């Protein structure tokens, strides 16, 4: 059973060392590598010892075992200092190496000099060989050395936990656990069942934990390599996180731009950190949901920074996220200058366009007023009908059951004054006749709708606002049409008549009824209302009746003010 135990542990330590070789990075601390090399050698010593047949072979095996016993604790301690980012002065390291070597040299004098062991003898009990020995002074020094390295490691770990935010807490825990397992295997009863030693098992457990550390260190090596190269430029920041949003590291430039980084602890999540909730945490969440959101801009004082977010790679393997931060102030100022220039240019064009449109509208209104002056009215018809259309449209927009757009409402109000432009083509004798028209005269009068459509089409031809063009032409052309199809010029019926013409029809007729003309007095509101209501479903669109009814008080108040 003992042979199998030591063989298995040796095989495991060898496999774990091979795994370490596969994941090895050139930035790994050399003592890290020496530790993985030493453990299989030490465990091989236990394999030789369990198979020894003589004192000489047992001593040789023991010398191999103590190669790990002496140097391994030194390598582990130096690895701990490296992982904790604590720099030991080279003369101290050399001194410790010489001290350890002297202790080991005392080990290999076993059987010849009474330094490490005063006496040794070979014993084989029940097929389990071992060395009976009496400890010498150097064995005590060996224990002191092991305790020294252990205490130095523990001190570095504790110091880093409380004082160094740039050291991973996961790594600290794994190192601390490895140290305690190792020291317990040395001092707390060396044997299980009196024959099997714990030390080689503790070595394998240390390898497992340090492989976990090595896997994590790969991330920091990637971060450190990138950060080191960026530090040379002096103006590019670098920050990295793993996929769980744990902070991995950053360079000095990034810390200057984002002072809150100094509050972050390596290998601790930034989730729940208010200081970075609107920056890194938000950007990471956005990027993790949509990788196209990989560029953001951040303003700090007068400076503007461009932040590129990408994946952090270990070879071809994605391990987390990385931020590259560059000062983009000059570029953004240039863009802002161009935008300001374009904005000013657009505003100038807008003002000039508005001026041209205003002139155009005034021209149309002037033409409408000229036409109106030829008619037998007291004037003001085009203004009043525009106002009535606006009152109706405003009411229709309150619930907007017809789904009217603001553009439509604006265009029909603007088009209302153009509804009678066609009368310019009607002979004065007919247009200014004070009495009723003959059938022949009425036929000529009806031509004003089609003529009006032609005039509007000509005036607005080539305009950029095609929607207004269509609405204005429809208002002029179809406002005399009737819902029941008895109107003119084309005898359209129901919804064949454009909505804008149906609205215009109510405004046109209502104004004609309640306004004074040369040939008639104004009609009372009650009588006019009776005619309008009687025409719903015949002359006018029945669906517009609720809007007319609702605004009737407004219309009457409006016309009272016209007197």
Q: Mind listing the pLDDT tens digit for each residue in 324-374? A: 888 887 777 777 676 666 676 777 766 765 555 566 666 666 666 666 555
Tell me what pLDDT residue 374 has. 54
Tell me what pLDDT residue 341 has. 67
Give the per-residue SS3 of 187-240: HCCCEECCCEECHHHHHHHHHHHHHHHHHHHHHHHHHHHHHHHHHCCCCEEEEE
Measured CA angle at 369 (ends 366, 371), to 5 deg: 110
Q: Which residues pair with 123 in a beta bridge?
A: 130
Contacts 24+ apart (CB under 8 A), 385-389: 385/416, 385/417, 385/419, 385/504, 385/507, 385/508, 385/511, 386/413, 386/416, 386/417, 387/558, 388/506, 388/507, 388/510, 388/511, 388/555, 388/558, 389/413, 389/416, 389/503, 389/504, 389/507
Span(s) in the chain for CATH 3.30.450.20: 233-327
Q: How far apart (Å, rounded) are the C-alpha atoms in residues 78 and 435?
A: 117
Q: What CATH number does the domain located at 2-215 have?
A: 1.20.1070
Q: How far apart (Å, rounded) are the C-alpha atoms in residues 97 and 487?
A: 113
Q: How far apart (Å, rounded) are the C-alpha atoms in residues 1 and 126?
A: 12
Span(s) in the chain for CATH 1.10.3210.10: 349-562
Tell me what pLDDT residue 231 has. 46
Tell me what pLDDT residue 187 has. 66
Span(s) in the chain for CATH 1.20.1070: 2-215
Q: Which two tokens stand for residue 329?
A: 């102030």
DSSP 8-state assignment for residue 563: -
Q: How far apart (Å, rounded) are the C-alpha atoms in residues 450 and 423?
A: 10
- Class of CATH domain 233-327: alpha beta
Q: How far apart (Å, rounded) are the C-alpha atoms in residues 447 and 441?
A: 10
- At 112 the three-state DSSP class reads coil
Tell me what pLDDT residue 377 has. 54
Neighbours of 164 (CB within 10 A): 15
349-562: which CATH number, 1.10.287.130, 1.25.40.10, 3.90.320.10, 1.10.3210.10? 1.10.3210.10
pTM > 0.85: no
Tell me what pLDDT residue 232 has. 45
Q: Collect all residues with Cβ–Cβ distance below 8 Å to 491 and sequence separation of at least 6.
A: 481, 485
Residues of the chain predicted below pLDDT 50: 189, 222, 227-233, 378
Q: Collect all residues with Cβ–Cβ distance below 8 Å to 361 and sequence separation of at least 6.
A: 414
Work out whether strand 303-314 and strand 196-197 pair parallel, antiparallel, or are unpaired. Answer: unpaired
């Amino acid at each position: 059973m003992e042979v199998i135990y030591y063989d298995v542990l040796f095989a495991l330590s060898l496999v774990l060392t091979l795994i370490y070789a596969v994941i090895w990075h050139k930035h790994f601390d050399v003592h890290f590598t020496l530790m993985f090399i030493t453990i299989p050698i030490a465990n091989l010593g236990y394999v030789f010892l369990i198979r020894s047949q003589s004192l000489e072979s047992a001593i040789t095996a023991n010398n191999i075992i103590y190669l790990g016993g002496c140097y391994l604790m030194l390598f582990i301690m130096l690895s701990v200092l490296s992982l904790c980012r604590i720099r030991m002065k080279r003369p101290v390291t050399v001194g410790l190496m010489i001290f350890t070597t002297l202790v080991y040299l005392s080990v290999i004098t076993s059987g010849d000099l009474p330094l490490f062991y005063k006496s040794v003898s070979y014993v084989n009990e029940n097929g389990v060989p071992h060395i009976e020995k009496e400890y010498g002074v150097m064995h005590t020094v060996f224990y002191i050395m092991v305790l020294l390295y252990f205490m130095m490691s523990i001190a570095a770990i504790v110091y880093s936990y409380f004082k160094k935010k740039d050291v991973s807490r996961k790594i600290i825990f794994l190192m601390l656990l490895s140290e305690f397992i190792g020291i317990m295997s040395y001092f707390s009863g060396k044997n299980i069942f009196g024959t099997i030693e714990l030390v080689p098992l503790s070595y394998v457990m240390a390898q497992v934990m340090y492989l976990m550390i090595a896997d994590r260190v790969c991330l920091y090596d990637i971060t450190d390599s990138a950060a080191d190269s960026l530090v040379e430029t002096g103006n590019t920041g670098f920050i990295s996180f793993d996929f769980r949003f744990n902070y991995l590291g950053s360079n000095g430039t990034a810390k200057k731009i984002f002072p809150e980084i100094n509050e972050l602890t390596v290998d601790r999540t930034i989730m729940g950190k208010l200081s970075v909730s609107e920056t890194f945490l938000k950007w990471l969440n956005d990027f993790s949901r949509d990788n196209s959101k990989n560029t953001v801009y951040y303003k700090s004082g007068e400076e503007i920074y461009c932040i590129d977010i990408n994946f952090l790679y270990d070879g071809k393997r994605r391990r987390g996220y990385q931020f590259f931060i560059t000062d983009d102030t000059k570029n953004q100022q240039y863009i802002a200058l161009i935008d300001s220039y374009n904005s000013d240019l657009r505003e100038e064009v807008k003002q000039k366009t508005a001026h041209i449109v205003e002139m155009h509208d005034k021209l149309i209104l002037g033409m409408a007023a000229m036409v109106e002056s030829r008619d037998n009215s007291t004037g003001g018809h085009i203004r009043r009908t525009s106002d009535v259309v606006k009152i109706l449209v405003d009411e229709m927009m309150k619930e907007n059951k017809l789904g009217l757009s603001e553009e439509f409402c604006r265009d029909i109000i603007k088009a209302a004054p153009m509804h009678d432009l066609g009368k310019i083509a009607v002979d004065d004798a007919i247009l200014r006749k004070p009495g009723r028209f003959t059938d022949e005269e009425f036929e000529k009068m009806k031509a004003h709708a089609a003529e009006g459509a032609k005039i509007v089409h000509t005036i607005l031809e080539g305009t950029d606002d095609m929607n207004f063009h269509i609405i204005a032409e429809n208002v002029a052309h179809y406002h005399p049409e009737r819902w029941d199809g008895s109107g003119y010029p084309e005898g359209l019926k129901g919804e064949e008549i454009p909505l804008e013409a149906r609205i215009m029809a109510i405004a046109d007729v209502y104004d004609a009824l309640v306004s004074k003309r040369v040939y008639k007095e104004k009609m009372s509101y009650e009588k006019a209302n009776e005619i309008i209501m009687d025409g719903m479903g015949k002359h006018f669109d029945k669906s517009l009746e609720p809007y007319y009814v609702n605004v009737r008080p407004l219309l009457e108040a409006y016309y009272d003010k016209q007197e």
